[in-house]
Amino acid sequence: MSLFEELKRRNVVRMAMLYLVASWVILQVADVLVDALELPAVWSRGVLAVLALGFPLALIFSWVYEMTPEGIKREKDVDRSQSVTPETGRKINILIVVLLVTAIATVAVDRLLPETTPVTVTETIVTEDQAGTADPVQLVAEKFAPAADRSIAVLPFANRSAREEDVFFVDGIHDDILTQLARIGSLTVISRTSVEKFRGTDQNMKDIGAALGVKNILEGGVQRAGDRVRINVQLIDVTTDVHLWAETYDRELTTSNIFAIQSEISTAIAEALRATLSPEEKEQLDSAQTGNLAALEAYFIGRQQLAKRTSTSLAEAERQFKQAIELDPDYALAYVGLADTYNLQVSYSGLAESAQEALAEPLIARALALNNRLGEAYISMATLADDDPDAQEKLYRKGVELAPGYVTGHQWYGGFLSRRGDLTEALAQLEEAVRLDPLSGIVRISMGGVLESLGRFDEAREQYEAALRIDPGFAAAYTSLGALDAFTGRFDDAMVQLRQAAALDPGNPQNPVVMAIAWSLVGGDAEADRILAGTEEASAWWSGWATSYIKANRGDLAAAAADTRIVLAEVPTESTALWISGLHDLHSGRTEVAIQRYESAYPSLSDKAAPVVDGTNYFAAVNLAYFLQAIGDERWAGRLLDAALAYVETVPRLGSSGHGITDVKIYAMQGQTDRALAALREAVDQGWILMNDFDEDLAPLYDEPEYQAMMDEIKAKQAEQLKRLRAMEANGELAPIPAATPAG
């Protein structure tokens, strides 16, 4: 008799099948119990280890022993004529079938029943000034699509060294691996901002994977001791808790070794997930961005500071990126980081646009000279090409194509598309950004901005509030909430949010000037003047913008126009400054000068036969039409008004991205008084109270009784807001306004 026949006779083959099927069922039950009891994942691995050790023992037992009516006996002691192994075999067959049916049913239920409850991730987020007081925050990361097979989150590596100062060394390695993986187009890689929320977590991998929307997680640790470094990593499929790949690297601590390890890890992950690598991607993985560990550390800190979006953090980011460049003049990404810092300082620190362009352009040129396949550099270049929207879009597309995992690329491209009016594609880009970085506050704010443009204000507010749940000290989220409230007519609520933003980021000139204008619009002139005092030192052009607006609203157009010179010298396309300056030119008999200024600032409006009007210039188009009508050029003016109205009809009235009462102005200038009054009535009913005394394009409505009645209604609402604001101020409901100081 052959060995295989003897194995079958002794039921060893059947026992092997029974053991494997039973083990699978036991593992499924163990997985459920581990999740239900919130046990560490090591328990599941322990069960697997025990079952694996038991398998050869079960086979040996089947070979050596036999079940008999008198009990278990050694096989050599059983009379073959009395053996009941065939009957035992039939019983084993039945048991195998039962277990197989159970296994198939378990798989069917798991695959067919939808998940109905979102996974919540509980985490304590503590800001510097809230240490010890923050409560746990429930962060729910929605997923726009099921987790892809090649989706991965790289959790922050554990620092297993004795020295705390090695943290940045460890984080730098982690960040560089993330950067390399994000360049692989066939992978979905969660950004550092989101994975950072799970630093040192004791949650199981399945919950983390569900919260981040990924199927795979890489975890590991780094130990630096003397001139040696040990890096151990393991790749886990969170749906099965199976280890797809693991490796330990024990090398001499040299720069070349560190970057070689990072490249090896990235390549191994790509292979484990069966990602397809293009030749360009393979080349990127094989080449390090820098050969200087200190430069890598400075760059990493710079990116961290950049994400905070405050005037102070941007000043620190600038310092760190400059240090990275000093340490390694060939570090292309450091040049991009510094250029992005200058870009953001325009909004958050009051840096003049002209200064930003002068500083950023050579940095981006240097980055591309070092690496012309650097997607991040093309994204940065796109932000400077706002005088040519078509070229700007091509740059954004190229950047996203070269760096598909670069969250900022999708975020900024989505913002550009939103401003142009391509809201469907803008939303798709922001959804991708949220998918790649679900726990990023600034990405949530950008998503909220697109939702505002779509008129989905409740959803926009949810995104801004989600940003605050992620980071309760995130000043930019308060600014966004304040703007949303202001542009829906709730100045009292807006002031609460803006005061909080100003308290958290006193170096940002936006918040005080917006607060000053809000006070001015409801009649609080004294409060407006008090807030504006000192803002010029923080930012001359932001201060000039606010003072020109307020002076024009008080009827001093000449003084307002003088202030607009500061603004237009730095931001030639600023629509309010162009309008105020143009009105002064009109009253001074220099209307042609105003028209030339618009043509210079907005070349796309200069085509008299077919002007191009979109979300970036429709305000300017309407204002330019007013000045054209003043000189009798009705044809050009009419085309501008028709194009602007076509765009306005596609966007909401309210919200910080809304058109306000632009349709009212267009109808008034077209001589459609009834439609203008009806549109204004709609705006007032929706809560609109932002009326300017220098809106001369509404002049055709001034003598209409219905218009006058609505103005009285608006003034009454403004008076109510002023009364409420002053009561809040007196009761201490508003955060104190910090002194405006230059950032840095």
pLDDT at 132: 34
Beta-bridge mates of residue 246: 234
Cα 379 from Cα 397, distance rounded (Å): 8
Helix (H, G, I), strand (E, B), or coil: what is residue 269? helix
Helix (H, G, I), strand (E, B), or coil: what is residue 415? helix
pLDDT at 133: 34
Tally Cβ neighbours within 10 Å of residue 20.
Answer: 14
Inter-residue contact 479 to 466 (CB < 8 Å): no
Query: In 3-state terms, the chain is what percent helix, strand and coil (to 5)?
Result: 65, 5, 25
Cα 477 from Cα 443, distance rounded (Å): 11
Inter-residue contact 384 to 360 (CB < 8 Å): yes
Cα 222 from Cα 229, distance rounded (Å): 7
Cα 592 from Cα 594, distance rounded (Å): 5
Burial of 299 (0-12, 13-18, 19+ CB in 10 A): buried
Alpha carbons within 13 A on the beta-carbon side of 189? 29
User: Which helix (H) or strand (E) covers residue 537, if one does?
Assistant: helix 535-538
Cα 278 from Cα 284, distance rounded (Å): 10
Inter-residue contact 224 to 250 (CB < 8 Å): no
Measured N-to-C along each axis, helices 510-521 and 540-553 cross at an angle, to the nearest 10 degrees, of: 0
User: Which helix (H) or strand (E) covers residue 58, if one does?
Assistant: helix 42-64
For the record, the structure tokens of 544 come out as 């000039």
Residue 174 to residues 123, 233, 265, Cα–Cα distance (Å): 21, 11, 11
Tally Cβ neighbours within 10 Å of residue 117.
Answer: 5
Q: Exposure pattern of 127-143 as b/e (b: 16+ CB <10 Å)? A: eeeeeeeeeebebebeb
User: Which helix (H) or strand (E) covers residue 252, if one does?
Assistant: strand 242-252
Cα 64 from Cα 679, distance rounded (Å): 93
Residue 296 to residues 170, 254, 311, Cα–Cα distance (Å): 11, 14, 23
pLDDT at 4: 60
Cα 444 from Cα 463, distance rounded (Å): 5
Cα 247 from Cα 72, distance rounded (Å): 45
Tally Cβ neighbours within 10 Å of residue 734.
Answer: 18
pLDDT at 122: 33
Amino acid at 111: R
Sign of CA dihedral 356, 349, 511, 454: positive
Cα 70 from Cα 424, distance rounded (Å): 77
Non-local (6+) Cβ contacts of 496 within 8 A are 482, 728, 733, 734, 735
Domains of the chain listed by start with CATH number: 3-112 (no CATH), 144-276 (3.40.50.10610), 602-702 (no CATH)
pLDDT at 408: 95
Burial of 86 (0-12, 13-18, 19+ CB in 10 A): exposed
Tally Cβ neighbours within 10 Å of residue 74.
Answer: 9
Q: Return left, alpha or beta for 226; rule: phi > 0 is left, psi -120 to 50 is alpha, else beta.
A: left
Question: DSSP states of 11-34 as a string?
Answer: THHHHHHHHHHHHHHHHHHHHHHH
User: Which helix (H) or strand (E) covers residue 463, if one does?
Assistant: helix 457-470
Q: What is the mean pLDDT of each run of 10 residues along the chain (744 residues)?
A: 61 72 74 55 67 75 65 61 63 71 60 37 36 38 62 89 76 82 85 86 85 89 82 88 85 77 83 77 69 85 90 96 96 96 92 90 96 94 89 95 92 93 93 91 94 94 94 93 89 92 90 89 91 77 91 94 92 93 97 96 92 93 97 96 95 91 97 97 93 93 97 95 92 77 49
- Look at residues 110, 117, 124, 135 and name the one whose alpha carbon lies nearest to residue 210: 117
